[in-house]
Amino acid sequence: MVPPTPPPSDQFQTLETNSNTLAHVALIPSAGMGHLTPFLRLAASLVQHQYCQVSLITPHPTLSLAESELISRFCSAFPQVNHIQFHLLPFDAATANATDPFWLQFESIRRSAHLLSPLLSSVSPPLSAVICDMSLIYSVLPVTKSLSLPTYILFTTSARMLAFFSCFPIVHGFPTASENYASFDGNVLEIPGIPPLPRSSISPMLLAPNSLPAKILMEDNSILTKLNGVLINTFQGLEGETLEALNNGKVIKELPHVFPVGPFTPREFERRDQSGAALKWLDDQPADSVVYVGFGSRTALTRNQIREIGDGLLKSGCRFLWVVKDKPVDRTDEEGLDEVLGHELLDNMKEKGLVVKTWVDQVEVLSHKAVGGFVSHCGWNSVTEASYCGVRVLAWPQHGDQKINAEVVEMSGLGMWMKNWGWPGEDVVKGKEIGEAIKELMSNESLKTSAAAIKEAARKAGTGVGGGQEASFKRLINEWNKNTNYEGI
C-alpha cells in the first residue's frame, strides 16, 4: 500500500524569525466539512512553516459532529494556534426562505457577524489580516474595514466557479460590482477567457432569484472588488486558463488578485482510526482494479438511487469500495446497511466489493495502489484530492457548484462526466447506465495517462520549490507583513 504523502516539514524554507515579528492572521471558516477542511489545511501550512501567527475563529455551535471533532483534533495538533469560538445568535429559520441546513448555517453566521468586531480587535498581538470564507464577504467585510484590517477570502471551490461567481448578477439581469464583458442569453453564460458555461450546469437554487443561496451570492458579489485578495485551492496544471483570465482582468475589471494556493494536502490531524477494514481489504486487491465510490460528507442519496448504484456496481464487473451515506447531517442516528440496501443486494456484493457506512480516510483510499477510479459528486476537496493522487474520476454532480466542478474534471482530462444524468430528483439513474459508465472509466487508458500528468503537476505546485503555492504564499506574507515590523521574505 502506498500511504498518503503529507507535505514534509521542509516543504518551503522556514522563516528564521522571532514569533513576535510575524504577521498575525485570523481565519474565519463557515459551515460544513467542505468549507472547514481547506481552512484547517491552510492554517496548518501557515503555522508549520512559520509564515505567520494564526488565530482560528470558528462558529459555535457547529452544524455537524464531524466538524467539531475535526476542530478539536486540529487544536490538539497545533496548540500554538489561538482558537476562538464565535457564538452564533439564534434566528428564525422560517425567515430565510431555505430548508437546507448548511445554507441556514451560512445565514446564521452572516447574521451574527457583527459580534466579530470585539473578537478581532481584542486578540494579541494585533491582527495583520483576516481571511474569511467566501460565503461571508457581505457580513464580515464591513466589520474588518471598520477595524482597518486587510481582508481576503478563501474560495473553497474551483477557479471556474469563481469566474461564475464574479459574473453571477448577470444571470439575473443585474450589473456586477465591476465592469465585465460577460453575457447571458438565458441558455449560456459567456465569460471572456474561459469556455462558455451552460445554464444546465448552474444549480437550480442559484437560478431562483428569491432563494437564500442566490441572495447570498448576490450580496457577496456586490462588494467582491473591495477585498484585498482571493486565496483559492487550485493550481496551474488543473485550471491554468481560468486563473489567467481571472488575473488578467478578462472576467471582471478590478477583481482582487487571485492567489492559487492549492492543492491543499491532507494533514496528520485529519486521520481517524476508522479506515482499517477498508484499507486491509484494499491491500488484498490487484493494482488499479478498484473503483472507489464516495459522495462526500453532506450528500445523501435516496434509497432508490442507492440501490441502483449497488446494481450498477455489480453490472460493471469491477471491484469496488463504496461508502454509503443516506443522511445529510451526521448528528442523526443511521440505520444499518441491511436496511438501506436490502439483504439480498448486500449479500450479492460481497464477492466483488466492500460496502461501508463508516467514515474512511479518503486520501488514504485514493492513494492506495489498488484504486484506479473514483465515482465522485465533485465536491472541490474531492476533485483536488483525486488530482493529488492521480486517480481518474467519474463525475456525478449532486448540487451547488458540482456541475461546474465536473466541467473542470472533464476539460482538464482528470475524468469523464455523464451529463445526461441530471440533478438529483429529476430521474433515478438506472444500474445498467451506472455499470456501463464505471466500466468505461476503469478501462480508459487515456484518462489514466492524463490523470497521472495532473498528479505530477499537482505535486510540483504543492510541494515543489518555486511551485505556484510557494510563490503565492511568499507574496501574501509580504503583503501581511506590511502591517508588522517584519521586513518580509
User: If you compute the radius of gyration of the chain from its CA atoms, what whole number of angstroms results?
Assistant: 22
Run of H or E including 410 = helix 402-412
Find the angle CA(354)-CA(360)-CA(364) to the nearest 5 degrees.
Answer: 100
Q: Which of 35, 368, 377, 399 is catalytic?
A: 35
* Distance in angstroms (rounded) separating the CA atoms of residues 106 and 109: 5
Q: Which of 24, 49, 133, 361 is catalytic?
A: 133
Burial bucket for residue 317 (CB in 10 Å: 0-12, 13-18, 19+): exposed
Do 272 and 354 touch, CB atoms closer than 8 A? Answer: no
Percentages of the chain per state (helix, strand, coil), in multiples of 5: 45, 15, 40
Question: Is 133 annotated as catalytic?
Answer: yes
- Write out the E strands in 88-211: 129-133, 151-155, 183-184, 188-190, 197-198
Do 132 and 102 touch, CB atoms closer than 8 A? Answer: no
Phi and psi for 242 in degrees, rounded to 5?
Answer: -70, -40
> How many residues does this entry show for the chain?
489
Kindly list the distances between the CA atom of residue 39 and the CA atoms of 85, 139, 255, 325, 395, in Å, as whole numbers in the listed order. Answer: 15, 18, 22, 24, 24
Neighbours of 431 (CB within 10 A): 18
First to last CA, the chain: 39
Do 74 and 101 touch, CB atoms closer than 8 A? Answer: no
- Angle between helix axes 445-463 and 468-480 (nearest 10 degrees) is 30
In 3D space, the residue among 164, 169, 31, 158 whose CA is nearest the CA of residue 100 turns out to be 31
Do 41 and 71 touch, CB atoms closer than 8 A? Answer: no
User: Which grid cell sits at 395?
Assistant: 463525475
> What single-letter DSSP state applies at residue 2?
-
Which residues carry out catalysis?
A: 35, 133
